[in-house]
Amino acid sequence: MNSSVKAFAAAVLIAVPSLCPAKLLEDTVAVVNGKPILLSEYQKEASTAQEYWSKTNPAAMADPANLRKLKESTLEQLIDRELLIQEGARLKLKVREREIDNAVDEIKARFKKDERGNNLSEAEAEAAFAEQLKGEGLDWGKFRERLSHQILARKTIDEAVKAKMVPPTEEETRAYFAKIQAYIDSKSTGAPAGMGEEEGMALREVAGQIKALSSERVRVQRVLIRLSPGHSENEKKRAQKTAEAVKKRLDAGEDFAVVAKEDSEDPESAARGGDLGYVLRGVAPPELEKAAFSLGVGDTSGPIYTESGYNIIRVTEKRAAEKPEYEKFKDELANFLGGASFQKKVEDFVKGLRDKATIERNLPATL
């Protein structure tokens, strides 16, 4: 899982109301330089994190040890946020009303489409936004206060870290590309030699992306009719019948992207009109790979059975293999190196705040 500081970048801050001393110990999971982090605040964050990981990695969340680590990580994220807010106040950083207004507009814009990417009316979007606030137990004032805290934490990082960043040099970027090229040429799938765990994982990920963009590849759209694990024969027949009906609609001229948004049971790709990105040899299920590389651009397959269900794919692009070239990837690599350096400096900055802080933790074992 990501470190507490990495998770901070996408997190939302919740305002902390004052409590009487009698309730403080009962409802506090941590105290940071005398400022309490409330149980209610922690529970909202932990619930959101657990819901996300239960969807993306349910097997991991079935392990009590991983669940406990997630809960502990959530507490550390809240501590980091509070430290950043306190540091921003110490630096006398200001949050203007127009900055909060801009943040409100940005958040409201996310409610203009439903989960499948369909446009909502202004009234429907407002209703969805209001329902979200209600679900989080926030009134308008607390919502704006939460945004103010979030902006202050970001400004703290901008002031203390971002403003002092220096972009990577051409020499540094070329040297990193050389390491990537050497790793690709080695055909290794293990950790790169001579690197720490996090640095090695990062290089492997970037190398994989560059290899993918340089290998023979086919870009496809997909409509998936999903099958449950251990599905029965009747379920399989029903799914096949549904997939065949979808194929008939496509053969009759319906737009693939529209059909994928309406009927694909893979929400992530459905929101993109069924776009799966590039399929590489040896990565996709064999049945899917065989169809993808045998179809011509613009061709649509019949229903293809895999463990996940019945797939109907359409090839939108084909590219031949090519040798990775520095000039093609230098801008992305420079951005990556700059981002990695920034992340490391943010972590070091927050660690410095932690080292100077007085932090008390009181996370109940039963939570």
Q: Which residues of the chain have pLDDT under 50?
A: 1-25
3-state helix/strand/coil string of 313-338: EEEEEEECCCCCCHHHHHHHHHHHHH
pTM value surpassing 0.85: no
Question: Is 171 a domain residue?
Answer: no
- What does the chain come to in residues? 367
- Could you tell me if 147 and 222 lie in one domain? no
Q: State the pLDDT at residue 367.
A: 65
In whole angstroms, what is the distance from residue 30 CA to residue 46 CA?
14
- What are 306's two structure tokens? 């895999």
Question: Is 174 a domain residue?
Answer: no
DSSP codes of every residue in 168-201:
PPHHHHHHHHHHHHHHHHHT--SPPTT--HHHHH
**CB burial string 242-263: b at 16+ within 10 A, e below:** bbeebbebbeeeeebbebbbeb
- What are 310's two structure tokens? 């019945």
Q: In this structure, what CATH number is given to the domain that contains residue 84?
A: 1.10.4030.10
- Could you tell me if 9 and 124 lie in one domain? yes
Q: State the pLDDT at residue 30.
A: 94
Query: Which residues have C-beta within 8 Å of that of residue 223, sequence separation ≥ 6?
Result: 243, 246, 256, 259, 260, 263, 264, 274, 311, 312
Q: State the pLDDT at residue 3.
A: 45
Question: Is 75 a domain residue?
Answer: yes
Q: State the pLDDT at residue 293.
A: 94
**Are the CB atoms for 85 and 156 separated by under 8 Å?**
yes
Burial class (CB in 10 A: 0-12, 13-18, 19+), 34: exposed
Q: How many helices (H) does the chain have, and how many strands (E)?
A: 15, 7
Q: State the pLDDT at residue 237.
A: 95
- Could you tell me if 226 and 133 lie in one domain? no
Question: Is 166 a domain residue?
Answer: no
Q: State the pLDDT at residue 269.
A: 93
User: Last residue of a domain, which of 299, 319, 339?
Assistant: 319
In whole angstroms, what is the distance from residue 85 CA to residue 91 CA?
10
314: containing domain: 217-319
User: Last residue of a domain, which of 114, 131, 160?
Assistant: 160
Question: Is 72 a domain residue?
Answer: yes
CA-closest candidate to residue 334, choices 126, 107, 169, 105:
169
- Could you tell me if 135 and 10 lie in one domain? yes
Beta bridge partners of 317: 219
Question: Is 104 a domain residue?
Answer: yes
Q: State the pLDDT at residue 26.
A: 52
CA-closest candidate to residue 51, choices 61, 39, 63:
61
Beta bridge partners of 35: 32
- Could you tell me if 151 and 224 lie in one domain? no
C-alpha distances out from residue 114 to 124, 132, 302, 358, Å: 10, 13, 29, 44
- Could you tell me if 125 and 236 lie in one domain? no
- Could you tell me if 53 and 139 lie in one domain? yes
Q: In this structure, what CATH number is given to the domain that contains residue 275?
A: 3.10.50.40
User: Last residue of a domain, which of 160, 186, 209?
Assistant: 160
- Could you tell me if 132 and 22 lie in one domain? yes
DSSP H or E segment with residue 303 = none
Note the maximum CA span of the chain.
Answer: 71
Q: State the pLDDT at residue 61.
A: 84
**Are the CB atoms for 149 and 85 separated by under 8 Å?**
yes
**What's the one-letter identity of residue 33?**
N
Rounded to 10 deg, the angle between the 97-109 and 140-160 helix axes is 110
- Could you tell me if 241 and 310 lie in one domain? yes
Using DSSP's 3-state secondary structure scheme, residue 359 falls into: strand
Q: State the pLDDT at residue 190.
A: 85
Count: domains in the chain: 2
- What are 89's two structure tokens? 């106040």
CA-closest candidate to residue 224, choices 209, 242, 197, 251:
242
